[in-house]
């Protein structure tokens, strides 16, 4: 069977659409707090001295701030695909070195790194981690304590990590088709 340029273009388009059909993000709602509220998030524990405000923004118009005297924070559940690898990303800042202070985050209730206790102040820093979904629903939670000052949080995102073998097979298939097309064109 000889390949035509039209057949190659059709197959390539179908392959690209199949890869694009992978969800680019989990359904984290309001991860940048751009609604100016905690919409999409559930506040947990001590909600005192916590909110959304322009002064807390890393990017955009708003970011979240947390300064509860006791442990408090936010959580959210969203749809995921069981067994799928995800990359969690967020930007975090601590405005003062005053102690006590603490930060921790969880994926499906399991503590993840970093966990910070009595940390020194630092400007917005990007953190990321790889996690695997155990089921059709996953949750992310952030917990803070800082009675003297504030933790700042912005740009929370959960992204599907494409499987390298699938991407390699797709690329190899496209290269083989192009090679075959070139051989057929030379006949």
Instruction: Domain ranges for the chain, please list them.
Output: 1-22+163-187, 24-161
Asked if the model's pLDDT at residue 17 lies above 50, the reply is no
Model pLDDT for residues 46-73, shown as the tens digit of each residue: 999 999 999 999 999 999 999 999 999 9
Contact 106, 181 (CB under 8 A): no
Find the radius of gyration of the CA atoms of the chain: 22
Mean pLDDT across 176-183: 72
Model pLDDT for residues 138-161, shown as the tens digit of each residue: 999 999 999 999 999 999 999 999
CB proximity list for 158: less than 8 A, separation 6 or greater: 25, 26, 28, 31, 78, 80, 86, 87, 88, 89, 138, 140
- C-alpha closest to that of 46 among 65, 25, 69: 69
pLDDT computed for residue 183 by the predictor = 75
3-state class of 164 per DSSP?
helix
DSSP labels, 38-69: -TT-EEEE--TTEEEEGGG-SSSS-EEEE--S
Q: How confident is the model at residue 8 (pLDDT cuts 50, 70, 90)?
A: low
Q: Is the pTM of this model over 0.75?
A: yes
CATH superfamily membership of 24-161: Galactose-binding domain-like (2.60.120.260)
Two structure tokens written together for 97 = 């070195």
Contact 82, 133 (CB under 8 A): yes
């Amino acid at each position: 069977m000889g390949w035509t340029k039209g057949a190659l273009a059709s197959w390539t388009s179908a392959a690209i659409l199949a890869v694009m059909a992978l969800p680019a993000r989990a359904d984290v709602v309001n991860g940048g707090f751009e609604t100016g509220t905690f919409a999409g998030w559930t506040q947990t524990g001590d909600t005192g001295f916590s909110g959304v405000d322009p002064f807390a923004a890393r990017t955009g118009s708003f970011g979240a701030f947390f300064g509860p005297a006791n442990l408090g924070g936010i959580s959210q559940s969203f749809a995921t695909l069981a067994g799928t690898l995800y990359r969690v990303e967020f930007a975090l800042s601590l405005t003062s070195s005053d102690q006590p202070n603490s930060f921790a985050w969880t994926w499906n209730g399991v503590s993840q790194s970093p966990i910070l206790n009595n940390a020194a102040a630092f400007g917005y820093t990007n953190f990321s981690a790889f996690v695997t979904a155990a089921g059709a629903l996953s949750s992310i939670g952030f917990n803070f304590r800082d009675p003297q000052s504030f933790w700042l949080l912005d740009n929370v995102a959960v992204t599907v990590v494409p499987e390298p073998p699938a991407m390699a097979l797709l690329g190899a298939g496209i290269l083989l088709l192009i090679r075959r097309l070139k051989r057929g064109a030379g006949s």
